[in-house]
Amino acid sequence: MTPRLPLTKYHQIYLVLREQLLEGRFAKAMPAEMELAKQFGVGRVTIRHAMEKLVAEELIVRVAGRGTFPKPINHVGLGMSTPALTQPTRLAGLMENIVSASRSTTVKVLDWRTIAAPEDVAFALQIEVGSSVKKAIRLRSSREGPLSYIITYVPQSLAADIVRKDLAAKPLLQLLSEAGVELGRAQQTISARQADARVADALDVAIGSALLSVRRLVFDANDQPVQWLEGLYRPDRYEYQLEVSRIGDVDARVSMREEKVKA
**Between the ranges 61-65, 133-137, 242-246, 256-260, where is the mean pLDDT highest?**
133-137
The beta-carbon contacts of 30-35 under 8 Å, at least 24 apart in sequence, are 30/60, 30/67, 30/68, 30/69, 30/70, 32/67
Higher pLDDT, 145 or 27: 145
What value does the mean pLDDT take over residues 11-33?
A: 82
The confidence band for 39, taking pLDDT boundaries of 50, 70 and 90, is confident
What kind of fold does domain 83-256 have according to CATH? Chorismate lyase (3.40.1410)
**CA 252 – CA 239 distance, rounded (Å):** 11
Cβ atoms of 138 and 150 within 8 Å: the answer is yes
Kind and range of the H or E element at 150? strand 145-155
- What's the one-letter identity of residue 238? Y
Average of per-residue pLDDT across 205-222: 88
Q: d(Cα 210, Cα 233) in Å, to the nearest integer?
A: 9
Asked if CATH classification 3.40.50.10490 holds for the domain at 9-70, the reply, yes or no, is no
Q: Is the distance from CB of 246 to CB of 83 less than 8 angstroms? A: no
pLDDT, residue 241, reads 66
Contact 135, 117 (CB under 8 A): no
Residues in the chain, total: 263
pLDDT given for residue 99 in this prediction: 52
Alpha-carbon distance of 60 to 211, in angstroms, equals 24
What does the pLDDT read at residue 103?
A: 60
153 and 125 in contact (C-beta within 8 Å)?
Answer: yes
| pLDDT band at 79; cut points 50, 70, 90 | very low
What is the structure's pLDDT at 209?
84
Residue 111: which pLDDT band, with cuts at 50, 70 and 90? very high
Burial class, 27, CB count within 10 angstroms (exposed 0-12 / middle 13-18 / buried 19+): exposed
Residue ranges of the chain assigned to CATH 1.10.10.10: 9-70
Mean pLDDT, range 152-170, rounded to an integer: 92
Q: Kindly report the pTM of this predicted structure.
A: 0.70
Give the model's confidence band at 255: pLDDT under 50 very low, under 70 low, under 90 confident, else very high: low
Considering the chain, tell me which residue range(s) the CATH 3.40.1410.10 domain(s) occupy.
Answer: 83-256
Q: How far apart are the first and last CA of the chain?
A: 34
Is pLDDT of 2 > 80?
no
